[in-house]
Structure 1
């Protein structure tokens, strides 16, 4: 099943316009973005990992006065971001190889990190650590339990994976993050499983 993970990058590149059209803008994520924003200094720098086309997550963060750097593996999605939010920083990059040489006050990987294989997810915690300033907030979505699943997007397989919650907690602790809040299958957030942590 993990072979399907290798199709994620080209899938979003091929279907960038469809994703832009279909992605919900009703901001069901708002309560979690409020919690995240409360941990980031006013006017702080936020790294949006797997930013897509910048809406609604990056758009909301920009509206709150944060300076956003967004990275995504799809050049087509990054071009949309650059057109919509030209005052922010947008780069084509694979999160697994990310090495920006700077730290941020907040990091968010909403509905992106969970497209990685379990082993790639484990390796991402060093990437989070390398880009997190002291006290930085980190928020990401995962599955509720260990496993892999295949959904569909535009008729093509869409890979998702998750580690066990105890392993996420251990990885966060090992890389200098304290869990602030975690909710599995949050009914107030369209069933998302969300982790909010802070760099110690």
Structure 2
């Protein structure tokens, strides 16, 4: 799916998304497990940050300066309004470049929307953006390939390189895998926590 089209789809549900997820517990246990693997403070990157909310509030409380990235302009506007002390960028992670490196990188339920051929390049980019001892957490589909599904009366695209290739890529990039879990069984949803050594 063209990232611009994906951004427009999320623009259409941005207000709903904000109401549903700002204070939800979804993903918090996984996020808190990841953030517990390093000392508080530093720079954090939230890829597919949406409207902000629960994750960014915790990062702020733990003295992280946050850069949030999202393909939806409406989501970014909401995130900036909700967290004016942090930096939010309307951009496609596939093309986004920065001189900054980060101590903590989060990509919760966002990378699975990438075009299939961009899965590995984007994951490599995130690994390269980690500082020494930096922690990466992201979710992905545990099945290999690509598909579309209906959600909110619209069609959304999903892709994944699967469990084995995600793990192999992280190891090849010099990261240690700290935790891997199929956390929503029988849904094909997995998350992984890794650290750069």
Task: Kindly provide the CA deviation profile for residues 14-54 of structure 1, in whole angstroms up to 9, marking residues without a partner as x.
Answer: 33223223337321322212221112331221100110000
Number of the residue aligned with 1:199 = 196
Number of the residue aligned with 2:172 = 174
| CA apart distance, 1:6 | 6.5
Is 1:144 aligned to 2:165, yes or no? no
Number of the residue aligned with 1:162 = 160
What is the TM-score when the length of structure 1 is the normalising length? 0.88
Is 1:111 aligned to 2:118, yes or no? no
Number of the residue aligned with 2:122 = 124
Is the 1:70–1:91 contact (alpha carbons within 8 Å) kept by the matching residues of 2? Answer: yes
1:95 counterpart SS class: coil
- d(CA) in 2 for partners of 1:44 and 1:24? 23
Is the 1:138–1:197 contact (alpha carbons within 8 Å) kept by the matching residues of 2? Answer: yes
Is the 2:42–2:65 contact (alpha carbons within 8 Å) kept by the matching residues of 1? Answer: yes
Q: How does 1:1-200 map to 2 (within 5 A)?
A: 3=1, 7-23=5-21, 25-186=23-184, 192-200=189-197
RMSD between aligned residues? 2.1
- d(CA) in 1 for partners of 2:77 and 2:136? 25
1:157 counterpart SS class: strand
What is the TM-score when the length of structure 2 is the normalising length? 0.89
| Unpaired segments ≥5 residues, structure 1 | none
- d(CA) in 1 for partners of 2:63 and 2:80? 18
Is the 2:7–2:73 contact (alpha carbons within 8 Å) kept by the matching residues of 1? Answer: no
Is the 1:45–1:67 contact (alpha carbons within 8 Å) kept by the matching residues of 2? Answer: yes
1:105 counterpart SS class: strand
Task: Kindly provide the CA deviation profile for residues 68-97 of structure 1, in whole angstroms up to 9, marking residues without a partner as x.
Answer: 111111121111111111111111111111
Is the 2:50–2:70 contact (alpha carbons within 8 Å) kept by the matching residues of 1? Answer: yes
Is the 1:99–1:127 contact (alpha carbons within 8 Å) kept by the matching residues of 2? Answer: no
Deviates further, 5-14 or 72-81? 5-14
Equivalenced residue count is 196
